[in-house]
Homo-oligomer: A and B are copies of this chain.
């Protein structure tokens, strides 16, 4: 899911910073989709930046947060991707998060992280202290609105995925997942036909609640039906409408 340009940017930004640095919103590739988007280009941006504690570089396989950690910050993914795991066994995957996503929202109410977040690839995140963020909401109502809409969007997305994955057949679940990834690409204004999966088959099958064998068979089945093309972790969508029809029915 990580594009070359995003990766290049992440590496450039992180050069010689040793995994921790001050965040620079004006430089960020995602100002236009971030909570701060209504402040972009104005002289108010430095105030927003005061809520950002630091940027963090997380290597593939490393945790951003562990289940049970105290909650005190949210994170915006600047580049890369993460998987959310419940408990300590890596077998229960709750979801995946990509660039521009705001993560940690489900942990606000309990003041503890209910799930862990593990980087699927070398990733760059921007840390938003929750208390500072609440202060910002008072100063900038539009930021607060963006935040609420981000939460609402995630809730809606969870429920949408849930409705299919809960009851659908293996083929429906896999089709839904591919469409979900394509939608993520759309949201980032990237080509949504060619998708490079940042996660392994096991992660996907765990997320979908099916066995890795079933996932493998489903992918070859969809290939034979010319709905998509699979080469290792590269997925090419050949017939998006047919996939949608399959997922929806």
Which positions in A face B, CB cutoff 8 Å?
A: 84, 86, 92, 94-95, 105-110, 114-115, 134, 137-138, 141, 144-145, 147-156, 158-160, 162-163, 165-167, 206, 208-210
Contacts and interface: CB of A to CB of B under 8 A. Distances in A.
A74 B209 CA distance: 32
B156 A106 contact: yes
**Lowest 4 A-B CB distances belong to which pairs?**
A167-B209, A108-B152, A166-B209, A109-B152
Contact of A158 (B107, B108, B149, B159): B159
A152 B165 CA distance: 22
A210 B168 CA distance: 10
Contacts of A105: 151-152, 155
A114 B147 CA distance: 19
How many protomers of this protein does the assembly include? 2
Nearest to A130: B148
Given A151-B152, A158-B158, 6 more contacts: A86-B159, A108-B152, A134-B145, A144-B144, A147-B148, A148-B151
Contacts of A106: 152, 155-156, 159
A105, A106, A137, A210 — most chain B CB neighbours (10 Å) = A106
Given A134-B145, A163-B86, A155 B158 contact: yes
Contacts of A150: 109
B114 A149 contact: no
Contacts of A86: 159-160, 163
19 contacts: A94-B159, A106-B159, A107-B152, A107-B156, A109-B149, A109-B156, A110-B152, A115-B159, A138-B138, A147-B148, A151-B151, A151-B155, A154-B155, A158-B158, A158-B159, A158-B162, A162-B162, A162-B166, A165-B166
Contacts of A138: 138, 141
A223 to B, nearest CB: 25
Contacts of A109: 149-150, 152-153, 156
A208 to B, nearest CB: 8
